[in-house]
Chain A
Amino acid sequence: MSHPMTITEKILAFHAGLKAVKPGELIKARVDLALANDITAPLAIQVFEEIGREKVFDAEKIALVADHFVPNKDIPSAQQAKVMKNFAIKHKIAHYYEMGDGGIEHVILPEKGLVGPGDLVIGADSHTCTYGALGAFSTGVGSTDLGAVMATGMAWLKVPSTIRVEYQGKLMPWVGGKDLILFTLGQIGVEGANYKSLEFCGETIRNLPMDQRFTMTNMAVEGGAKNGIVEPDDITVNYFSERSVREPLMFKSDDGAVYERVLKIPAEKIEPQVAFPHSPDNVRPVSKVGLVTLDQVFIGSCTNGRLDDLRIVAAILKGKGVAKGTRLIVLPGSQWIFKKAIQEGLVETFLDAGAVVGPPSCGPCLGGHLGILAEGEKALSTTNRNFVGRMGHPKSEVYLASPAIAAASAILGRIGSPEDV
């Protein structure tokens, strides 16, 4: 018998063809899916070409997604996107997505059933850790690593130690996955999980719908983590089996698995959270925010651009209007979500309230386009990072919060909660 292991250790051992692994061990692991986007793919392609292989390791196991600057914002970004497109055509990449059937990478890969429980996913994007919500091991790397994966189908990884975060209790109204993860980041700090795995568990997580689990694992990297993960359960399997015919691999942490640290969080006491500039761990409960007037509210991204998010926003915006002097931008995370949001009447609610609804794109999340901030402007955003200059001018400010807080704040023209509207 091998020693008790965490879910992350088990998935890594499985993909390395080993019975057991221990934190700190270096392994070479088989990759189920390799991902790159319009920013990182061109560099990864250069690396792949330097390595000098004729063919990619498996055209079915590579996903290339144009999402950061789509629709292409200028000539250089169009040139970059074209490099990726040509590569996808040349190598018959099965999962190449452009506008029209795509969206933001971390939204569409799960949505299209390309990632499932037990998978190992390597992506040239730091938020690749999002797929941990499905009980998969997924982590972000640089373009050189990704180029190497495209050539060999293998990645070298150091087995991380794990921090287990247990959430107990029923959530207060308007509190969800975003608040749980922001609160947790406030506790551990932006470096608190550097090189480590963050395992989210406990009664609160078991009751959390998939969309909110994605929000939590998405921001594991904001604590520096290598991966974030939730043990798969019925909620996971229901989500996955609606989208894929593959058998899920249901790894779970063993009793007696060794954790570097266990953090217990009384979730029922957590208020909606707001991260102040310029760091995702600089959090306060919404009741302690004070007066912060807003020039812009952005709802979208791989953190909070999913259907449940838009439903919450519409419920709050219904019959109300965006405050004068505040701009509200809503970008659904994928084409599918966009269509659902139209069918369910959410988009009409957004438009009636005075929002601008745009195409699925990373857009303003990384200060690319579709809503850049001017000097001194303040924005509340449902995204994951609020570093200096992240959404525009280096002297602009970004506050991070949930879709519920974003919707309420758009109505109020200042940061506030749905209770205040």
Chain B
Amino acid sequence: MKLIGKVWKFGDNVDTDVIIPARFLTVSDKEDLAKNCFVDLSPNFVKEVRKGDIIVAGKNFGCGSSREHAPLAIKAAGIGLVVAKSFARIFYRSAFNIGLPILESDEAFDIYSEGETLTVDLETGEIRGANAGVRVSAKAIPVFMREIIQAGGLVSYIKARGSL
């Protein structure tokens, strides 16, 4: 699957409190959550993000609380992929469970800039920048996570198998 989108850059340790502050957690509807995604850190994000855009971040993306509202808000805001140097544990799990594609890459953050258009092959993990010569390969996704993705998320995985 090929994905083409514009880069939104964020730094290290982007926590779930800035992805979606707790004061907006009184609802659990995805679209409502998306309205306040990154509201404090990047007030223009929601207005300007386009479907399929790509977040490129530093290490420990999604740290902090367990709120699944964070990956849900990012996905509902239109983001098609998050590439980070590393992800916090719960965010990593939840992203797969809800079907938000994520990739880990040590280099992407240092190579690509804000607003640049990337072409990404989700299966091979190959990321190509506006300058076609610059490309990086993301880390392979563990087999069991791939099974969950192939099933279409954790819910369908359990439904299909009748158990975990």
Residue of A nearest to B41 (CB): A388
The answer on a CB contact under 8 Å between A144 and B17 is no
Selected from B13, B21, B94, the residue in CB contact (under 8 A) with A190 is: B13
Does B40 make an interface contact (CB < 8 A)? yes
Selected from B18, B23, B69, B155, the residue in CB contact (under 8 A) with A47 is: B155
The answer on a CB contact under 8 Å between A141 and B66 is yes
Contact partners of B89 in chain A: CB under 8 A? 194-195, 224, 226
Given known A144-B154, A194-B86, A224-B60, contact A126–B65 (CB-CB < 8 A): yes
Does A319 make an interface contact (CB < 8 A)? no
Q: How many residues of A contact B (CB 8 A)?
A: 53
Minimum CB–CB distance from B2 to chain A (whole Å) comes to 26
Which residues in chain A, 121-146, are within 8 Å of chain B measured between CB atoms? 123-126, 128, 140-145
Distance, CA A125 to CA B69, complexed state (A): 12
Does B63 make an interface contact (CB < 8 A)? yes
B95-115 CB mask vs A (1 if < 8 Å, else 0) is 001100000000000000000
Selected from A43, A73, A77, A142, the residue in CB contact (under 8 A) with B90 is: A142
The answer on a CB contact under 8 Å between A191 and B26 is no
Selected from B13, B66, B88, the residue in CB contact (under 8 A) with A124 is: B66
Does A156 make an interface contact (CB < 8 A)? yes
Contact partners of A50 in chain B: CB under 8 A? 155
Does B130 make an interface contact (CB < 8 A)? no
The answer on a CB contact under 8 Å between B144 and A26 is yes
Does B125 make an interface contact (CB < 8 A)? no
Contact partners of B159 in chain A: CB under 8 A? 51-52
The answer on a CB contact under 8 Å between B164 and A80 is no
Residue of A nearest to B69 (CB): A43
B66-104 CB mask vs A (1 if < 8 Å, else 0) is 111101100000000000001011110110011000000
The answer on a CB contact under 8 Å between B88 and A389 is no
Residue of B nearest to A50 (CB): B155
The answer on a CB contact under 8 Å between B63 and A190 is yes
Minimum CB–CB distance from A222 to chain B (whole Å) comes to 9
Q: How many residues of B contact A (CB 8 A)?
A: 42
The answer on a CB contact under 8 Å between A126 and B155 is no
Given known A47-B155, A76-B27, contact A40–B68 (CB-CB < 8 A): yes
The answer on a CB contact under 8 Å between A80 and B26 is yes
Contact partners of A68 in chain B: CB under 8 A? 22, 25
Given known A142-B90, A388-B41, contact A40–B17 (CB-CB < 8 A): no
Given known A52-B159, A388-B17, contact A144–B65 (CB-CB < 8 A): no
The answer on a CB contact under 8 Å between B40 and A279 is no
Stretch binding the partner chain, chosen from A91-99, A147-155, A328-336, A339-347: A147-155
Does A385 make an interface contact (CB < 8 A)? yes
A105-128 CB mask vs B (1 if < 8 Å, else 0) is 000000000000000000111101
Minimum CB–CB distance from A360 to chain B (whole Å) comes to 18
Does A390 make an interface contact (CB < 8 A)? yes
The answer on a CB contact under 8 Å between A145 and B26 is no
Which residues in chain A, 71-91, are within 8 Å of chain B measured between CB atoms? 73-74, 76-77, 79-80
The answer on a CB contact under 8 Å between B17 and A385 is yes
Distance, CA A125 to CA B13, complexed state (A): 19
Minimum CB–CB distance from A385 to chain B (whole Å) comes to 6
Distance, CA A141 to CA B89, complexed state (A): 9
Known pairs A148-B155, A156-B144, A191-B13 / 4 extra A-B pairs, C-beta < 8 Å: A39-B25, A155-B164, A385-B17, A388-B18
Interface residues, chain B, CB within 8 Å of chain A? Answer: 13, 15, 17-18, 21-23, 25-28, 40-41, 59-60, 63-69, 71-72, 86, 88-91, 93-94, 97-98, 142, 144, 153-155, 158-159, 163-164
Closest 4 CB pairs of A and B: A142-B94, A76-B26, A142-B68, A144-B97
